[in-house]
Structure 1
C-alpha cells in the first residue's frame, strides 16, 4: 500500500497537513508515500481527479484505489487507515 498525496502551494489546508504527514512518515518509515504538486502533474490529476485539496489516495500494490481523504484530516484517522490498509 502507498499513499498518493496531492496538494498545491496555494492551498491553506495543504500547509496544515504537511507537518502532520511528516510526523506520520517519521513514525512509520516503511510507509510509502508520493507527493504531487497539483499544478505540476496534470497526468496525476487526470488519473485521480481530486475534487478538493489536499487529496490523499490510498492505493494497493496493484495501484488500485482503496480509499481517499480530502482536506484537513485528523492524524488518528490517517493512522487507523494506514493500519487497516498496510497489507493491501
Structure 2
C-alpha cells in the first residue's frame, strides 16, 4: 500500500501525527493506524509476529489483546468491513 500517488483522504502526515498522539507505538508496538469508523474503533496494519494483517482495535483500551484481525490482504479487510465485522 502506498500513499505516494496521493496523500490519501486525510493525508499521510495526519496519519503519522495520529499514531503519535494516540501513543500507538508504546501501547501496541508494530501497529500503524490508518483510519477509524468515526467512533470508538481504529483500523490499522499490524506487523506483529512478522506477518501483516489489517485489523481493528478500540481506541480505549488500546492494547494488544483487543486487536481483531479483519484480513491478511486489503481486499479481505474491505470485505470484512462490508459485512460489519469491524466493531
Give TM-score, length-normalised by structure 2. 0.35
Relative contact order, higher structure (CA 8 A, sep 6+) = 1
Specify which structure has the higher proportion of helix.
Answer: 1
